[in-house]
Amino acid sequence: MAAALYDPEEGYYARPAGQVGRAGDFFTSVSVGPLFGRLLAECVMEWYREAGKPPRWRLVELGANDGTLAMDLHAALKEMVGGGSGLEHVVIEPLPQLAAALREKCGGFLRVEDSSGPLAEDPLPSFVLGNEVLDALPFHVIESNGQAWEEMGVSLEGDAFAWAGIGPAPTGLVEGIPVFPAGYRTEVRDNFPEFLAPLVGAMASGRMLWIDYGFPRDDYYHESRTKGTLRTFSQHRAAEDPLQSPGEIDITAHVDFTAVEEAIEALGGKVTLFERQGRFLTHCARPWLMSMDGRTDAEAMKAVRAFQTLTHPGQLGASFHMMIAEWDH
């Protein structure tokens, strides 16, 4: 999965950005329009004020793709805090092609780094944001034989890839996951600590916001999810075989948010909020909703429809969860 998505030359995400949106392979909250960035900016400002308006601070975004959310955030924050606020807006993008495109598109206000290492040399109060990033982290695939978990690997049969058992799953990998009847297949990630630790090291203090689809562990590993949550996406069509055309399709699985919380706590942080996107954005939207009071013009009506798409339970409001974690070094 790591190679299929992130190989610098042939990985799915190494291609020029264009996977997101109506003309791409999948639709995200960013695709709804600039309102999503505006509402997240309200969330950032809430933390900024609670942190005492530090003279120097960072907004760090991961998974920026083509920079649309970064631009929406920048426009909203510029309006809210004005110039001279001490804000440094950073995107971490390890893939060279995407990083170069981001520098060209947003270089006037955006610092692009291939890792958080340079930020750790000068830690600042930081707000770290990732929209649909955790679901794209590589995962292990495991299958029950009725008595224990086996890890699945990939073999080459003729000129095609195929699933193949590679032996018992390591005990540490499947700890806490009950064994289901034979044939039950699911996913497990053990890389959350490795992913989060460098980000924590680059923060003097701060807050992280992770936005994604997923469940707490008891719901994730439910007896009814016999095929797990692994999905692929291409031209807005979902499928379940990541071996069919690796490098040409998105590969994803839902997030075990209990595992994310455990990693956060092991790194000295504390989860302070976990709720559905609809409720969270409605809270963030209070200042914006007040500013819209009484407006009936076409632009306002368009924004209201975007808000409904982002928050309604039948649309994106119930599909995604928001997890906030705090660090006070």
Give the helix ranges, DSSP H, for 82-191.
96-106, 117-120, 171-174
pLDDT digits (tens, 9 = 90+) for 13-72: 887 655 554 555 656 888 889 999 999 999 999 999 999 999 999 999 999 988 999 999
- How much is the pLDDT for 25? 61
Q: At what angle do helices 35-50 and 298-311 cross, to 10 degrees?
A: 70
- How much is the pLDDT for 134? 98
- How much is the pLDDT for 14? 85
Task: Identify the DSSP state of 240.
Answer: S
Number of other CB atoms surrounding residue 21 within 10 Å:
17
Radius of gyration over every alpha carbon of the chain, rounded to an integer in angstroms: 20
Note whether 308 and 314 are within 8 A (CB).
no
Measured between alpha carbons, how far is 239 from 227 in angstroms, rounded to an integer? Answer: 12
Q: CA–CA distance from 62 to each of 86, 94, 120, 128 (Å)?
A: 20, 10, 16, 8
Q: What is the helix (H) or strand (E) element at residue 195, kind and residue range?
A: helix 192-201
Note whether 225 and 186 are within 8 A (CB).
yes
- How much is the pLDDT for 94? 94
- How much is the pLDDT for 315? 86
- How much is the pLDDT for 58? 97
- How much is the pLDDT for 49? 95
The structure's pTM equals: 0.93
pLDDT in tens for each of the 329 residues of the chain? 999 999 998 999 887 655 554 555 656 888 889 999 999 999 999 999 999 999 999 999 999 988 999 999 999 999 998 766 899 999 999 999 889 999 999 878 899 999 999 999 999 999 999 999 999 999 999 999 999 999 999 999 998 999 999 999 999 999 999 999 999 999 999 999 999 999 999 999 999 999 999 999 999 999 999 999 999 988 767 888 999 889 989 999 999 999 999 999 999 999 999 999 999 999 999 988 888 888 888 888 898 899 999 998 988 889 899 999 999 96
- Residue the block writes with tokens 């948010």: 257
Note whether 317 and 272 are within 8 A (CB).
no
Q: In terms of Cα–Cα distance, which of 109, 32, 52 is closest to 278? A: 32
All domains in the chain, ordered by first residue: 2-136+189-219+252-328 (3.40.50.12710)
**Buried/exposed code over 48-73 (b: 16+ C-beta within 10 A; e: otherwise):** beebeebeebbbbbbbbbbbbbbbbb
**Buried/exposed code over 140-174 (b: 16+ C-beta within 10 A; e: otherwise):** bbbbbeeeebbbbeeeeeeeebeeeeeeebeeeeb
